[in-house]
Copies of this chain bind each other. A is one copy, B any other.
Amino acid sequence: MESLSVALGSRSYPIHIGAGLVDQRALYAPHLRGSAAIVTNGIVAPLYLGRVRAALEASGARVAQVVVEDGEQAKGWPTLDRVIDALLAARLGRDALIVALGGGVIGDLAGFAAAVYQRGVAFIQVPTTLLAQVDSSVGGKTAINHARGKNLIGAFHQPAAVISDVATLDTLPDRELRAGLAEVIKHGVALDAALVVWLEQNIERLLARDRDALVYAVRRSCELKAAVVAEDEREAGMRALLNLGHTFGHAIEAATGFGPWLHGEAVAAGMVMAAELSRRAGMLAASDARRIEALIARAGLPTRAPKFAPERWRELIALDKKSAAGRVRFVLLEAVGRARLQAGIEDRLVDEAIAAAVQ
């Protein structure tokens, strides 16, 4: 097991990475104060719920559980209300521990439930998808979706710990594994050219689920993200760089109704669009843009966005949370491994980049 720390003063927390961690009682025990609730979904529950529950009960905790539907549609008010209702029905107090067992949807949903339940209780992330292990479980962003867009209602609420068990990736569908790789690629392309080189050399090992390669990819992603979060917890500045590909990616997800495109797939196509826009803005060499697209393609991820009306693109981009004082800022690239937040990009360039990037 490898452990690293997200340095946030009194709210610092450990990330544990290894195989077979999901039922290691000692990883939960320091955070238990009598009662807990596991929030998971119908896919993950038969695989890991019993083991997590046993680990919590072995520490003497009273354990409730909530199993929600699988998929992005769970990230809305009706499901959140159901989770809150289950916590109340189990009479959990402010000292309860919420355990988010599942992928990014479960982490965001259960994390937001923990953020607002009785004005905030502790929670632990137990991510069971690659995407959640390398990205969404770290950094305290929690949210649900709104009809007008993704993650528009949420909170910054840091977990008490992250327990990333790469053995749980054995049961992950190939498509979701690739979607997770999109966020690993994003960390490299935005922040660390050396990780991009490593990915170019090891992408096949990751696709074959080589456990050592997975541990390395998860650890390196978490290190990069933890450093950014420690500097800028609430995304006042550099944390926004982690949103490379997300402005376009969120637009793809929203326009297609949240579901047909996995988040990582949308981010992958979004990164190609961000690279294309960077090139057209004169910031990025054409060879770098091609190199990014080639890596994304080798990971089996989409490099082209679906086609929809330019006005719809503009509307969805304007809604993006990175807009400041009504102006959209884009995360663009100066080089592989070096992202920059950039305002004042001409609409014409954005339209052209979109036109070049659709299927």
Contacts A116-B116, A119-B155, A119-B156 given; indicate if A321 touches B94 (C-beta within 8 A): yes
Would you call B33 and A95 a contact (CB within 8 A)?
Answer: no
A81 at the interface (CB under 8 A from B): yes
Contacts A84-B146, A88-B319, A119-B141 given; indicate if A94 touches B324 (C-beta within 8 A): yes
Residues of B within 8 A of A298 (CB): none
A172 at the interface (CB under 8 A from B): no
Which residue of the partner chain B has the closest CB to A33?
A: B325
Residues of B within 8 A of A118 (CB): 152, 154, 321
How many copies, total?
A: 2
Residues of B within 8 A of A93 (CB): 321, 323-326
A164 at the interface (CB under 8 A from B): no
Would you call A91 and B152 a contact (CB within 8 A)?
Answer: no
- Distance of A43 from chain B, by nearest CB (Å): 27
Residues of B within 8 A of A34 (CB): 325-326
Residues of B within 8 A of A326 (CB): 34-35, 62, 91, 93
A308 at the interface (CB under 8 A from B): no
A242 at the interface (CB under 8 A from B): no
Would you call A143 and B119 a contact (CB within 8 A)?
Answer: yes
Annotate A123-153 by CB proximity to B: 1 below 8 A, 0 otherwise: 0000000000000000001010011110111
Would you call B153 and A84 a contact (CB within 8 A)?
Answer: yes
Bin chain A's interface residue count. 35 or more
Alpha-carbon distance between A118 and B319 when the two chains are bound, in angstroms: 10
Contacts A323-B93, A324-B95 given; indicate if A116 touches B148 (C-beta within 8 A): no
Annotate A70-94 by CB proximity to B: 1 below 8 A, 0 otherwise: 0000000100010011001101011
Would you call B35 and A85 a contact (CB within 8 A)?
Answer: no
Which residue of the partner chain B has the closest CB to A92?
A: B326
Residues of B within 8 A of A149 (CB): 88
A234 at the interface (CB under 8 A from B): yes
A283 at the interface (CB under 8 A from B): no
Residues of B within 8 A of A319 (CB): 88, 91
A301-359 residues with Cβ-Cβ distance < 8 A to B are: 318-319, 321, 323-326
Alpha-carbon distance between A89 and B318 when the two chains are bound, in angstroms: 11
Alpha-carbon distance between A152 and B149 when the two chains are bound, in angstroms: 26
A120 at the interface (CB under 8 A from B): yes
A117 at the interface (CB under 8 A from B): yes
Alpha-carbon distance between A147 and B325 when the two chains are bound, in angstroms: 37
- Distance of A64 from chain B, by nearest CB (Å): 12
Would you call A120 and B323 a contact (CB within 8 A)?
Answer: no
A166 at the interface (CB under 8 A from B): no
A115 at the interface (CB under 8 A from B): yes
Annotate A224-241 by CB proximity to B: 1 below 8 A, 0 otherwise: 000000000011000000
Residues of B within 8 A of A155 (CB): 115-116, 119-120, 155
Closest 7 CB pairs of A and B: A34-B325, A119-B154, A93-B323, A88-B148, A118-B321, A116-B153, A95-B324
A62-B326, A85-B148 are known contacts; what are 12 more A-B pairs with Cβ within 8 Å? A77-B77, A84-B146, A85-B146, A85-B147, A91-B319, A93-B323, A95-B324, A95-B325, A116-B154, A116-B155, A118-B321, A119-B151
